[in-house]
Structure 1
Amino acid sequence: MYRRGDVSLKKRFSKISIHSLGFRIFVLLAVMIVFFCALVVYNNTAAFGLMLERIHENSENTLVLYQKSLDENLSRPETYLYVFALNDTDLLSLRAAEPQTTSWYTTLNRIKKSFENAAPNYTVDGFFCYQEATDALVLYDQTSNPPPLLWNYIRGIANTEAPSSVWNLNEINGKYYLVRILNLNGYLLGAYISTDTLLGTLVDTKTQDSLLYFSDGSLLLRTPSNDVRLEAPRLKWRRYPSYEIDGTSWMAVSHELKETPLSLTLLLKDSEYTKYQTNFYIIAFIVSLGLFVVWLLLSASLYRWVLHPVHMLTHALEQLRGGDLKVRIPDDAMLDEFREMTTAFNDMVEEIDDLKIENYEKQLSRQKLEALYLKQQITPHFMINCLNTIYQLTENNHADLARQMLQNLSVHLRYTLSSGQTVSLLEELKLVKNYVELSSIRYPGSLRLLPSCEESLHNATVVPLMLLNFVENTVKYEVVMGKVLDIHIDVTAREKNQCTRLHICIWDTGRGFSEDMLAVLQNLDTYVNSEQEHIGITNVVLRLRQIFPDAAFTFCNRSGAGAQITIDFPYVPFFRIDG
Structure 2
Amino acid sequence: MKHFIQTLTGKITIVILLIVFPVIFMVYQNGRSTRQNWQEQQITKAEDDLALYVSSMDHIFDILEETLLYLPINNNSFNQLVTFPQSDTQRHWSLLISIKEQISSIKEIYPFMENIFVYYPEQNLFLNEKVNLEMTAVIRKQAENFSGSAASSKLWNTVSTANGYYLYWLYKRDGYCLGSWISYDALLSYICQNESTAAADTPTYLLTDFAGNVLTTQDGITVIPREYLGATVEKDGQFFITCQALHPGVYIARILGTAELGLSPHWYSSSFAAVTVLALLLVICVVLCISHWVLTPVKELTQGIEEIASGNIEHRLQNPSGTSLEFEKIETEFNHMMDQLKDMQIQIYQQELEQNETKLRYLSQQIQPHFILNSLNTLYTYSNRDVEATRKIIRLLSQYYRYVVNIESRYVNLGQELDHIENFLKLQKIRFPRKLDYEILCEDGIDIVPIPPFLLESFIGNSLKYGQDEQEKIMIRIQAVQVEPFVIRISVQDQGEGFSPEILEAIEEYHKTHVKNELLGTGIYNCIERLNLIYQDRAQIRCYNALPHGAVVEITIHLNQCEN
The TM-score by the shorter chain falls in which range? 0.3 to 0.5
Q: What TM-score do you get using the length of structure 2 for normalisation?
A: 0.37
Question: Larger Rg: 1 or 2?
Answer: 1
